[in-house]
Chains A and B, each alone.
Chain A
């Protein structure tokens, strides 16, 4: 829909056109890859989800008086730092129906929020005012944590969310009479669906249920979409009952999200965009186009073979609620500036000529990035890489080193890059894989935690080296060995390990006394975010269902705040909401986006004070929390 008119600012001022890539070969595509010319391909690319990250940007942070100075900066939206939220739907792409839909979804899903259009003032205050008696009662206990004492499962419609990720059983062998009925009921009970189909109506992917089960539903969807398509008025979304349907058309593919979790249209749209990016990452755009030009009725499942689990882990991370996806930003491992510096330097010093990007990642958090001056890394590309490495089991559990062809669509959607991945072995970091006679079987690998888990202390360290040269495996392996040796020698590896094990800090250690339960802080210039530990308030102990639900509640609240702040024409800078179960505050300046959550009884003044403390901390710690620029060569 929005193809081709992405504002130039989204690509970053220092981003030159990517270099030509070696032609690719893919067996299944028959026609071969190199088809579409580069220029043409570029017209088709969806706008990058965000500004390139870790790039040196032009924003002049020093001119802002922090944190109170934000008052003086309301009128502008940050110039060089990009005006978008980091999401796929820049404001000027919104058509009015989209807007209407947005405010509708806020209205209908968020009992605690007003429609954004009404919010002209900075702070809306306690518009959710209760009876004097209630006020009196609740003032008795100022320190009630959020989401306590109210049956939120009902209030937020999260009943059954703990079973959201359970599989729908295979059909019984000899079709029991009501078997399909049961399975359809199970399917309908899911709060979130993602479907992908071709414009010819061929099902390609569905998160829940085998394609046989939902074939007819797919048919209906296709009919509805193509009806509007035929009328030259593409359908973008609609509401049925408590479910919001959002549709994205990307060339020959339809993407459908169905949500009962209260996300806004643009949030759902950026999720669909990520699924599309995953498909491009597998196939490349020219191949995708070729396939459908030659045979519009192609079944895309074969060429996409194996991508399904990646799509599902992406989808599940959205359904669980991913701060990274919501903010379109990355999380970094907190390290001292000097430590990060020495890691960057070791990394740069051992650089192979074949290298395009080099990353060190610990438990899904970025530790170090090195890149050519000309090229930045896009969050949407990194999201795909992180999803492949940390959320879906394939590579992590494999052991050894991996050599993976993949397309990074925001970098260049028309060709493949080659990614070397190796996880550092904790005991023996210099050896990527065992070279000794088989040791006694290692402790059996635990079943991976639920998808999209936001585990605090996942301390697996991976090194990722990306090259356009498919023959460069041994060069990159060599580089990896040298880097590992160097990092071990200097003790950096131990430092990374310790930092990863430590996990995210508690709010109480960041801002002692602040009665804030959780926050998200996004540095807009760096396209990175940080947050405190989810434990214990939103941990619920263990991986149990309570944890799943507690996290989703928190993430739903963040989604609502985010949607209100980013709704078109809202021009909100600060938003304070009080509901029965939680109070929340959102605050956006050209420098940062800040969202926080506290118990329902906290006063606005106390909350603002707490927020200020955290923002001061983030400013103070900026060079530890975020990678600023990264190692450039």
Chain B
């Protein structure tokens, strides 16, 4: 993340919660986002960890207050405490483990039922580095990105030695139906990690930003978000491998 402008911009805090099955890489995504670091053998989170990180958008600064929850079943009952006032949620699955997508869907359903109505939800398939997509899709990065990225991914799934078990298509279709942002990431390489948070920052409705910890406010995840999103993306120096960064995903945003 580059800090383009040092001039004071309006700044607001956004409470964000990470949910998902144990060991899908929630803490690793946060560690990548906050410290730009990765640990090969990260120990399971106990309870929950609270971290903050700023995200600079062209027009404003978002201060994320991140709740990284434990995925282990025995902590599940504590989750409402963390998502209750959240304005954004990152629901993570491991794209080498189909069961973790099932679990992610449960979380999405629970959020839609119980969290504040305006909550912005992103579905994130993590551990993209374990797939063969890089080889199959580096070539597609330029060409195929604007078309359906799903095609390239599902090809990848057929490759032998590819650990991918959840096709991009399947997850993307589900995300679209439910109006979720959707990304495939690798906390290990850093691929698409900042993008997830930037997209969320952009998707938070202005109205809910006014009251820093309000969380209510539904309404337009609108066009301003998209524009800013584009800008945020261009700041990013990383090579963007086949990221399914479809701005349209935002439109359905849980309102």
Contacts and interface: CB of A to CB of B under 8 A. Distances in A.
Interface of A: 25-28, 282, 302-303, 305-306, 309, 388, 392-395, 397-406, 419, 433-442, 444-445, 470-471, 473, 477
Interface in B143-172: none
Nearest to B66: A400
26 contacts: A25-B78, A27-B77, A28-B74, A305-B22, A309-B44, A392-B43, A394-B43, A395-B46, A397-B42, A397-B43, A398-B68, A399-B34, A399-B51, A400-B34, A400-B49, A400-B66, A400-B68, A403-B50, A405-B47, A433-B51, A434-B34, A435-B54, A436-B54, A437-B1, A440-B36, A477-B50
Given A400-B50, A471-B81, 11 more contacts: A28-B73, A28-B74, A397-B42, A398-B27, A398-B49, A400-B68, A402-B50, A403-B48, A403-B50, A437-B1, A444-B37
B81 A470 contact: yes
A306 B21 CA distance: 13
B50 A388 contact: no
B72 interface: yes
B50 A282 contact: no
B40 to A, nearest CB: 10
A439 B33 CA distance: 11
Contact of A282 (B56, B73, B74): B74
A405 B36 contact: no
Contact of B43 (A393, A403, A444): A393
A402 B53 contact: no
B31 interface: yes
Contacts of B46: 306, 388, 394-395, 402, 404
Contacts of B34: 399-400, 433-434, 438
A439 B37 CA distance: 10
Nearest to B73: A28
A306 B68 contact: no
A302 B72 CA distance: 9
Contacts of B49: 398-403
Interface in B60-96: 63, 66, 68, 70, 72-78, 81
Contacts of A305: 22, 72-74
A434 B50 contact: no
Contact of A27 (B31, B39, B45, B74): B74
A401 B68 CA distance: 10
Contacts of A302: 73
> DSSP class of A's interface residues: helix, strand, loop or mixed?
loop
Given A305-B74, A306-B74, A405-B75, A434 B36 contact: no
Contacts of B35: 399, 434, 438-439, 441-442
A473 B81 CA distance: 10
B36 A441 contact: yes
A442 B32 CA distance: 12
Contacts of A401: 49-51
B3 A437 contact: yes
Contacts of B112: none
Contact of A303 (B27, B39, B43, B74): B74
> Which 6 A-B pairs rank lowest in CB-CB distance, beginning with the nearest?
A404-B47, A400-B51, A394-B43, A25-B77, A401-B50, A27-B76
B14 to A, nearest CB: 13
A403 B50 CA distance: 8
A513 B202 CA distance: 70
Q: Name the residue among A26, A303, A400 with the largest chain B CB count within 10 angstroms.
A: A400
Interface residues of B, number: 38
Q: Name the residue among B35, B44, B46 with the largest chain A CB count within 10 angstroms.
A: B46
Nearest to B33: A438
Interface string B212-224: 0000000000000
B52 interface: yes
B33 to A, nearest CB: 8
Given A28-B73, A401-B50, A435-B54, A441 B43 contact: no
A393 B46 CA distance: 11
A434 B52 contact: yes
Contacts of A397: 39, 42-43
Contacts of B45: 394, 398
Nearest to B44: A306
Contact of A309 (B43, B50, B73, B81): B43
A512 B57 CA distance: 64
A372 B153 CA distance: 59
A426 to B, nearest CB: 15
Contacts of A402: 46-50
Contacts of A434: 34-35, 51-53
A398 B52 CA distance: 13
Interface string B184-225: 000000000000000000000000000000000000000000
Contacts of B36: 438, 440-441
A438 B50 CA distance: 16
A28 B30 CA distance: 27
Q: Name the residue among A397, A403, A419, A470 with the largest chain B CB count within 10 angstroms.
A: A403
B53 A399 contact: no
Q: Name the residue among A28, A438, A440, A471 with the largest chain B CB count within 10 angstroms.
A: A438
A439 B1 CA distance: 10
Contacts of B78: 25, 405, 470
Contacts of B37: 441-442, 444-445
A484 to B, nearest CB: 15
Given A305-B73, A441-B36, A442-B35, A394 B51 contact: no
